[in-house]
Every structure is written in structure tokens, then in C-alpha cells.
Amino acid sequence: MNLANLLRHISLKHVKLQRTYMLLAVSGICLGVAAMVSIDIVNKSVLQSFAESIDHITGRAALEITGAESGFPEELLERVQNVPGVEYAVPVIEASANLSGGSERAFMILGVDVLQDYKIRSYSLNDETTDIPDPLLFLAKKDSILLSQTMAKQEGIVIDQEIEVQTVQGIKKFKVRGLLNPKGPAKVAGGDIAIMDIFAAQAAFGNAGSIDRIDVSFLPGEKLDTMEARIRKVLPEGYSLDTPTGRTRQVAILLDRFQKSMRFIGFMVMFVGMYLIYNAVSISMVQRRKEIGILRALGAKGGEIIALLFAETCVISAVASVVGIGIGLGFAKLSVGIVAQSITDMYLKTSVTALTFSWTILFRDAAFGILASLIAAAYPAVSGVRSSPISMILPLAPTVNGFKLSRKLMAVSVLLLFLSSVILAAYGMAASDSAIRTTGAIFASALLLIIGISLLTPAFFYRSLLIFRHFLAPWLGAGGRLACINLQKNVSRNGVAVAAIFFSIALYVCSANAMHSLRVSMFDWIDSIIRADILISSGNPLVVGGAQSIPMPESLAKEIEKIPGLQSVEPFRKSSLDYGGRKIMLEIFDVALRMDYCPGMFAEGSKEEVVQLVPGQDNIMVNEGFAARYHIKRGDTLVLPTPDGPVRFGVAAIVVSYTSDSGIIWMDINTYRRLWRDTLVDCYEVRVKEKKDIPAVRQAILDRLGKNRHLFALPALEFRNEIKKIMESSFLITHAVNIIVLIIAGFGIVITQLASVLERTREIGVLRAIGMKKNQVAGVVIIESALIGTVGGFLGAAAGLLLGWIELEGFFRLDYGASIAYHIHYASVAWAIVLSAGLAALAGFYPARRAARINIVEALTNE
Amino acid sequence: MNRLFLSLCTVILLLPSVSPAMTGREVYEKVHELRQKALDRQVTATLVLFDKDGATRTRSLIEYSKNADPDAYKVLVVFQSPPDLRDVGLLVHARTFSDRDIWAYFPEFRRVRRIPTNSQDDSFFGTDFSYDDFSGPPNLDDYTFTILKEEVLDGKPCYVVEVTPKVHRKWSRFVAWVAKDLWIHLKITYYQGEEQYREGLFTDIRIVDTIPTSFKARMENITTGHKTELTVDNIQYHTQFPDDLFSQRSLERAGK
């Protein structure tokens, strides 16, 4: 009989009969594949969308010149234009705007020199890519704007219509002079884009005479390296010169965190899935022992039986992987917006209109799922066919717990645990710039720890049973002792169930504690940093700075100060600069004023020193993550690019700030305005004299200033709570995955217990025949389940606490700083143990019911 | 090149009749010579822009130009109407017939903008004429000329000359109908590869101060269906404007 026939006649029948078990067993693989697929698709889609946006926006430009985020003088343009080999060098302004009224649609403004920009980007004032009835009028009038056809259609806007747009200068009226067909730049940000002539854009959205970027194309035959060198010669220091793909590269770095954490989750889920596959194959071996024995007796070789089991696993896991791909697509659809938003905040309005995936990636993820299943199935399949055909046909003998409790396995597990601790110790003792202080090292340590404990589980379970038998079983009477004996009979398989519980509980406790620690640290930090009473912003109430924010002029401060009842008005500006190839966030505020009322959190340095050293001077503060990455200590100096060239800054303090994992620099607003000549403000932080006046002052601000500008004035308490809510929601995915893992582990117990019941059908029959009641039989099975759950729970809780610390250390402290303290969330630990015991007991109900319903006569004849 | 103003204000030189064995280059030497002599002028004109649906927009302008020896020429164009475009201006300083600077001025921004020199073939502010059409005559050495045939157009005998640029331009060649003895374009067709993309017709030829001048020019963009009609309302030759009129300051003051 060939493999296909065996699959059709034997495996298919088995799958049909045991479809519920099969479904449970493959759910882990299915979710693991789903997690991996969603990560890959989200990543690819966001990067693709960003790269396309960059392509459309940069057009034929081979190089981009950028300076400070606040812009740089346009005089540089002529210098670049005169570089030999430069074909075109065109200025660009990128800004954000909102339609005022109606949908309040946010869109991107691209300010370009329309007289020559079409030479770089694929549109022109009067060809088929645009519909501009009067190009001269478009150029001549300050209020001219071109909208993408997509956006105009959705908003019901037509040519020559006047629209109100929220700008830096307040709400301004613009006239739609034309529509851009959905080609080239008009496709950027899903069509949420408008194009203005550079002068008009400067007047409405930036500083006159200042530009954000120069896009450069080369004459035919010129080489990138040569041109880069030539252009660099004419650029002052501090300007960045990169290819358009360089921006995509920076985004890839930003996505790295998302990728890392999602891969970790995917790996965890897949691991649980492997436990379940292991269990399912083990059960399959028990259930089909006789059938396999007959096949062997009829001449089937051990290798053929293994091939059959592998083929079954392969087919089932392939189906699971395909379903996983479907679920992964769903996950990706749900999460892609969130990831795209983070790119929008930091770089460019990125709107993912369609998911991008490659068949190769989907195939790779599915193959990984199948491979994981085959690895999980290997041990039970191989060990299952080792017995002789006759012993397989005969009734089951009590299981021998061989390899799983062997000294060899113990030695391997101890070795793995030792290696894990060595890595951890080395990591802990290494200097911050050491090569070992990487996420990879910490991940390796966690992996070794998990595998080490997993291998140790049967031995731990065996010893736990001994303790239980001595101290607790007598309290539970015969049922307790019987449960203990039954579990001891097959420690190997029960050990796997314990390991599954251990793993899921460890994952739960690990995440719960890492998240709790993050939550406590971040909430403390938010409370320490947002001490004003009202926060005034424009563009988005909860986003201060970045692509969603519409800056306000500094003159607005004077208007705000006129409102009665105010104690102080503090401007806040968020910008960024390139440092060491990364985009570093620059947070600018009035340091003297802020230190007056805000405690701040200092890792190195003090408030007094900061007040003395920073205001108006070339001294800054950096956050811990930045300090660790670039090995900076208080008192060091570092050179930062400014519009007028590099300036050396002293580091007055190392501060705690979690706004960005790329690194944060705090600068005094007077220093910033002096060096950057940028007077815009992203947020005004207002303090009122009497706290009871906050609502009245807020209303007065909106009444007085909200006519010419769409402002948001949020009471700080509300702002803090909203930010906390956003942070909480970011933990939701992790919580959801934990719960799913826990449920899958619960199913694992059901499968294990069912196998155990099936294995003991005759024995249960005997017990029932000698007078044991149905509820007593059921009670034994439930106690067994609860015992598996409790042991797994304790082991998982202990390992989870350690893993939580490792996760915090390797995934968060590395980027955010050492100030994130590890806070044990005792409730989650207690919950985990109660939950594991309770869930396990609950999982035992079905097998218990089945055991109780065993027909005594049939059971006694069961061979 | 100045195909528009060649049509508007080309001088007839009372030379002996041309031998039928003239080459394309020789035809254009005549055209160039006469256009150079017609550079000192003031033109008041009306432009009507037709979009592909037939909707029209009208604007009027004044053009001042001078032969700026030892430089090639200088041109100042100022829009008079509609009110939104009043005082929008364009200034051309041609050092040689192939090297020039172009600036534009938009009063609302109060800033003079330099127009890239490589924009010569681009649309002149949304019309179907190019910046080149509003500049002086070209440098003949930058082109090759071939007489294709002789033909009568609108009752006037013409040389049909194919002109191919030696450097990269927006168009690959043009074919011009040059009226014999008048040395003025009557028709011009631009090609991109084998595709015709722009066509100009110059009609209502009158003699002003001995210079044959087209009082009506019509340029059509075949690709977009957009066309522009230019009507000369008034023209004066031999104006001899002072150099000050062609400064950036004058551009900002709309020639006042």
C-alpha cells in the first residue's frame, strides 16, 4: 500500500473521527503562522507604501538635501544648481494642513517651484497630468492651490471653489485653481495631497525664504558617488545628503521595534502550537496503537509508519498554515493603519491603501509552520513505532517514563539553564557599549531558559507529584492518591501538558509584568512631564509635533497671555535632526520656566544644574536611550547640525523621556530660536492661577483664538488620560495574544486528559466495576487536570517573572533607558496560578465526563 | 527663434529676389537678419486662451523690446489685464542669441523669480506659446535647415523649411512655411518624434514701417486641445527704449 492510499484509508478516517482534537492541535500553528504573516505583510505594505510615496514625491531626484526640520535658507539652492553635473536642483516644502469645517480632512501640502518642478516630478501645469484652467493665475496668486482629483471628488470640491484651510497663519482661504490627476505626487498619502507654488507655500506654511528640502537630478552619465562628493563640498556641515531610498531605510529602522515585538509574539504562539502538535501526535499514537501494530504485522516498516505520520502532520499543518495566512491577512488589515500612523507621525503622511505581499513570503511562513509541526511530531512518531508489532497489538502496558526523566535530559536542561544564566550575567556586567548588550543576546538567553525549563518539566512534575502524594493527596482521599498514581504512570506525556501550561503562563506573567513596569514608568513620566493645566495645539488634539501637527506662530503667545487668570504660557516645539544616521527627536521648551514648576526626571544631573546651564546657552539634555546608544555622559559634548553649520553642545543632564525610542534631545527654546531661526510653536502649555478656573480659561482661549484658527485646548488631566488610554490600547494586542495562548494551552490539557482517559479505559472500567461511582471517576480526572495546571502555573509564574525582567531589559531598557524599573505585578502572578489551576480543572471536565460515562462491560473487554 | 514676434514684426528687406537655389540656412539667415532689425518695438496685444471645452480667458499685455548691442536683445512683457494679473511681468536679457536670462515678477509675492534658462520651450504662463516665442531670434548655428519644398499658402509663395535643433529641445524638429520676399512665418508645425504636437498659424499680415507684421497668431497644442490666439492691437517700431526699462527694478514696477 503506498503512502497516498494509507493517507486516504487510514489517516483520513482518523482525522474525521478526531476532528475536534485536530482542530485544537493545529490552532497554535495556525495562529503562529498568522502572526508571522501579519508581521511580514504589515512591514512590507508600510515600507512599500512609504517607498512609493517617496518615489512619487522625489520623482527623478537622485539625491535629496535636507537640513534642520524647521527648514533652511533657500540661498543654498543656487549653490547646488551651480555644481557641475547637476541637471536640476529644485526646492521643496512639505507641510500638513486640515480642511477647515466639514470633514476636517488632514492632508499634505507639497510646496514646489511649479515653473520647473515638473522636470523632477511627473506633472506639469498644462498637460494631461493636471487640469489647471489658468496656470498664470495659479502662479500669480498667493491663494492658489491644486488638489488631487481623489481628494476633491471625495470632498465635493470643484475648480475655482474657495476652500478654508488650517495653516500656520490660522484659517486661510485658498482657491482651487486646478486638479491633479492621480499620477505621480498626486498619489502620495492616498491622494490626500495638495500642491502649491513654493512662494505661496512659504507664505502660508513656513518662514519666507526657507525651504525644507532640495531635490537634485543629474545630467546623463554622472555617477552617484562623484555627484555626492561634489555636492557635499558646497553644503555647510550638518546638512544631510541622501538618496530617496535612504529615507525608506530610516523608516525600516523605525519599523524594527514593531517587527521585533511581533516576531517575539509569533514565536511564542508557534511554540505553544508545537506543544499541541506534539500532544496530538502522541494521542494519535495511543489511539492508533493497535492499528499501527497491525500495519506493522502486515509488513509495513517503521519508516513507512513514520512517513505516514509525517505526511499526516504535513497535510494538517499545511491546511493550518493556509488558514493562518488568511487570519494573518486579517490581522495585517487591522494593524497596518496603526503602524502607518507611526510613520506619519515621524516622517511623511503614509496611507496604506492596499496590503502588499509576496507569495515567496507567504510560502516561507507556511513552510515554517509545517516545519515546526514536523519537528514537534518527530519525537512521538519515532518513539511510537519503536515497539514491536505484537506489543502494539496487545493491551497497553503501563507507560515507561524513560528518556524524559533520564539523567541525560536533565543534564542537557541544566546545561541550557546554565548557559542562559551565563549570558544574562555577562549582559548584566557588560558596559553599555559592549557588543553583548544587544536584543539578540537577551533573546538567546530567554530562549535557552524556556527550552531548559521545558526539558526539565517532566522531572519537576514528577517531584511535584511526590510532594503532592506525601502531603496533599491524603487530604483528598482515594481520588487524590489515584490521580497522583495515574499522573505518575505517564509523566512524559503529562509533562508535555505541564510544559504547555508552563509556557503559556510564563508568557502571560512575563508580558503582564513587563507591561506593568512600562505602564508604571511611563505613567510616572507623563505625570512628571505634563504639569501645565491646559495644552493648546492645532491640527490634532493629542499629537504635538510631527506630520499631523499644524504649528502656530510665536506671536500667539501674546494673545493667549491677554486672557485673564493665566499664570504662565510656555511654548513647546518638536523637531528632529539627523545624528549618527538616525532621526533624533528634538523637544524644545522654555527650560527655566519648565523647571520652575515641573519636577522632571533626571537619570544624571539635577534641576538646579539644568537651570544654571541650559537656558539660552549651547547646552542640552539627552534622554537615557540616546546617551546609552552614543555612549554619552553628563559633561560630555556633542556636535549637532544646525542650519548654519555644526555647533558643539554640552550635555547638562541625562533625562528620562520615553517619547521616542530613537533618542531625544531637550533644548532651550531661546537657544533653538537663535540657532535655527524657527519661531513656530507646536503646543502652548498654559498654567492658570486658580485650578478651579481651568474650564473658564479654556473656554476663553477657544472663544478668543478659535475664530481664526482651529485650536484644541485640552485640560492637561484630560490630555494625560487620553495619552494613557492610547498607551493602554497599545498593550491590548499583547494581552489578547496572552489570552489566546492561555486558551490554546487549556485545549492542550483537554487533549492530554482525553488521551489519558482513552489509555485507561479498561482500568476505569475495573474501578467502576469494583464500585467506584461516576462522580468519583470524574473527580479523579479533574484532580489530575488541576494538578497539571497548578504545577505548570507555578513553574510558569516563576519563569515568567524572570522572563518579564529579561523582556524589559532587552526590548525596552535598551532603547528607552535604564530608568524603567521592574515592577512585579503581584495580582497577575496570583491570577496566573489561579487561572492555570482553574482553567486546567475546567479543561478536565470534558474528559472527566467521558471517563464517567464509560460503559463498564465494554471497558472491561477493551484490549 | 521668436516665432511669434517674427510673425508679429518681421522686417522686409528690399533685397533682390532670391535665387531659387537658396538653401534652408540661407532662408533663415534672411529671417534672422530681418528679425534683428525689428527688435526695437512696442507691442500691445490681446491673448485669448481656449481650453479643450471651448471656454475662454482673455488677457492683454504690452511688450517692450530693444536691440541691445553689444548684447543680443532685451525684452520686457507686462500684463495689463485681467485685474488679477495686472503688472505680472517677464524680463529677458539675451547676451547672445543662445544665452539669456529670464525673470518673472508676480506683484502679490513682491519677488522676482528667475526662470530656468532650460525652460525656453515651456509654456509662456499657461498659453500655448513658449518663452522662446516671446524672446529674440535664435542662434542659427544651433540648428540645421533643410528646404523640403516650395508651396503656396494663403496665396503667398513659401519655402517649406525643416529646422532640426543640434541640442536637446522639447521638440525634435519643426517645419516652417516662410513667405518668400516677406521672410515671415505663415505656418509652423512642431514635432516630437514623428508626432505633431504644436501648430501655429500667422495671419492678417500688414506692413508697418516697412516691416511685414502678422496681426493675428494662433498657436494650438495638438495633445491637449488647448489653443491661444494673439491679436496685435497696436505696434510701433524703432522705439529706441532706454536700458533702464529693462532692469529688474523696472520689472517690479511694471515698466513704469
| Residue numbers in B near A127 (CB within 8 A) | 223-224
CA distances from A638 to A66, A100, A622, A645, A818 (A): 20, 43, 11, 13, 21
- Residue whose C-alpha is closest to residue A740's, from A508, A536, A563, A480: A508
Q: What is the pLDDT of residue B203?
A: 93
Chain Cα centroid distance, residue A788: 33
* Counted domains in chain B: 1
Question: What pLDDT, on a 0 to 100 scale, did the predictor assign at position A250?
Answer: 60
- Cβ–Cβ contacts within 10 Å for residue A74, how many? 17
- Tell whether A158 is within 8 A of chain B (Cβ): no
Task: Assign B201 a pLDDT band (cuts: 50, 70, 90).
Answer: very high
- Nearest-CA distance from B33 to chain A in Å? 32
Query: What would the mean pLDDT of B221-239 be, rounded to a whole number?
Result: 90
Closest CA to A676 of A614, A612, A618: A618
* Residue whose cell numbers read 553635473: A85
- By DSSP bridging, strand B156-165 and strand B143-153 are antiparallel
B254 touches chain A (CB under 8 A): no
Q: Where do we find the cell 516665442? A: B133
Q: Identify which of B229, B175, B166 has the alpha carbon closest to the alpha carbon of residue B197.
A: B175
Which of A116, A133, A138 is facing B119, going by the closest CB pair?
A116
What is the least distance, in Å, from the CA of B71 to any CA of chain A?
A: 23
Q: What residues in chain A have per-residue pLDDT under 50?
A: 398-403, 863
Nearest CA in chain B to A130: B224
Between A and B, how many CB-CB pairs are < 8 A? 62
pLDDT of residue B16: 36
B116 at the A interface (CB within 8 A)?
yes
Residues in chain B: 256
Give the pLDDT confidence score for residue A636 in this predicted structure. 93
Measured CA distances, A375 to A11, A286, A310, A493, A597 (Å)? 19, 19, 10, 16, 60
B125 touches chain A (CB under 8 A): yes
Q: How far apart are CA A652 and CA A667, in angstroms?
A: 10
Cell numbers placing A765: 472500567
Here the CATH number for the domain that contains residue B150 is 2.50.20.10
pLDDT band at B217 (very low <50, low <70, confident <90, very high): very high
Are the C-beta atoms of A293 and A390 separated by less than 8 Å? yes
Burial class (CB in 10 A: 0-12, 13-18, 19+), B107: middle
pLDDT at B189: 95
Best of A77, A127, A134, A174 to disrupt the B interface by mutation (most B CBs within 10 Å)? A134
CA distance B109 to chain A (A): 7
Query: What is the span of the domain harbouring residue B128?
Result: 3-252
In chain A, where the domains are located = 1-58+248-394, 63-242, 540-709
Contacts of A854 (CB under 8 A, 6+ apart): A761, A764, A765, A768, A777
- All residues of chain A having their beta carbon less than 8 Å from the beta carbon of residue B49 are 134
ipTM: 0.75
Matching residue, cell 535658507:
A73
B106–chain A Cβ distance below 8 A for any pair: yes
Diameter of chain B measured on Cα atoms? 55
Where do the H-state alpha helices sit in A187-301? 198-205, 224-234, 244-287, 289-297
Closest CA to A712 of A726, A698, A696, A691: A698
Chain B residues with CB under 8 Å of A140 CB are: 84-85, 88, 106-108
Question: Cβ of B59 under 8 Å from any chain A Cβ?
Answer: yes
Cβ-based contacts of B123 with chain A (< 8 Å) = 125-126, 135
Bond before B70 cis per omega within 30 degrees: yes
